[in-house]
Structure 1
């Protein structure tokens, strides 16, 4: 490996923006990879090192470059829930349809983890698919109900998704809707939100999306 590439990887991981810029100026490749195929930008995103990531984006770093686990800088923003990092990557043209190893887009892990700010921002500032279905048969609306703990964060995520047009009738691979999962898990607040969405005028049109 080019020694400048190694310096760039280490600087990005540490969030040392000056060292990132110095390594780039010395000829380091923005798309160099470590042993796990992680790029400098992915390492910066994982550490939420905003300035380092911005320097890499300015140098043309790819927000969609996958590592050995099929994670990418863009996909990881949904895992960390960092709104500022999400916004830093938008000028680089991330692929909103890019899928992780579970077949999900960035919105789905963000919803599952209750990252309210991220869900709000990505829905408002991009045209991400609110009803994308992953390989498990789950949507962003199903994940916070199936995997969440029914707290206020997950309720707010569900409100945001429904307000953005998420289909409350989309069921999982076994035909169970988010409302039915909420009832089964005893999440009364979520169940009320989802039932109200199903009962809204026009809410009984079972989407084929």
Structure 2
């Protein structure tokens, strides 16, 4: 069952990523979005001065800030956030600038969202906090930043996984994911929260042959 869930999760991620890339691309009907995609701060400032709605949505429901965040266009994101853009405004697939920056490890933009009202309890289309995909994708510094900000470390997403479980199940077991597991455990992540099938993080680590992660879990009291 766990292997089936992993396959489904990967397929959903790939499909939705493609959809987002296609639907989220700025079009000429949305000049503020075009400026954000091109990281053109001068045009952003000009359009806002002329009365452009800063949180207007394009055909995918994306704001200009979310477009800038997808491109990791830090200058444009800063210009929009400083001008009052909503860092929590979601598109049609439940991405926000905060959630996307966290999931993708866009640390500069993430930090800006955290200092401008990021909703730490907001969740993505999988029902997960920003911490869970950050842990899965190996974004070590992002994981630490989100923990320091106060994101719920043991939040369980719609797949029944915590950040710890997802780092093990969907991670690769290499140095980055070893670091993330250690960071999560040091921050107090419960090493014994099992998935929906009752499989614990320790059991997943053993089944994948992740010996370093297994040792870290055992040291943290995993069963």
Same fold? TM cut 0.5: yes
1:128 paired with 2:151, answer: yes
Q: Contact between 1:97 and 1:128, CA under 8 Å: does it hold in 2?
A: yes
| 1:164 matched to 2:187 | yes
2:62 paired with 1:31: no
CA contact (8 A) 1:141 1:161 kept: yes
Alpha carbons of structure 1 residues 5 and 55: separation in structure 2 relative to 1, 3 Å = farther
Consecutive unaligned residues in structure 2, runs of 5 or more: 1-27
TM-score (norm 2): 0.85
Name the CA distance, whole Å, in 1 between partners of 2:140 and 2:212.
16
Write the mapping of 1:183-202 to structure 2, written as runs, cut at 5 A. 183-198=206-221
Contact 1:112 1:140 in 2 (8 A): yes
1:13 correspondence with 2:44 = no
- How much does 1:137 deviate? 0.5
Q: What is the correspondence of 1:1-209 to structure 2 with a 5 Å cutoff?
A: 6-124=30-148, 126-198=149-221
- CA distance, structure 2, for counterparts of residue 186 and residue 12 of structure 1: 44
Q: Provide the aligned length of Structure 1 versus Structure 2.
A: 197
> Could you tell me how far apart the structure 2 residues matched to 1:187 and 1:63 are?
37
Preserved CA contact (<8 Å) 1:78 1:108: no
Mean CA deviation greater in 33-42 or 82-91: 82-91
Task: Structure 1 unaligned segments of length 5 or more: list them.
Answer: 205-209
Q: What TM-score, normalized by structure 1, do the two folds share?
A: 0.90
Any conservation in 2 of the 1:115–1:153 contact (CA below 8 Å)? yes
What is the deviation of 1:5? 7.5
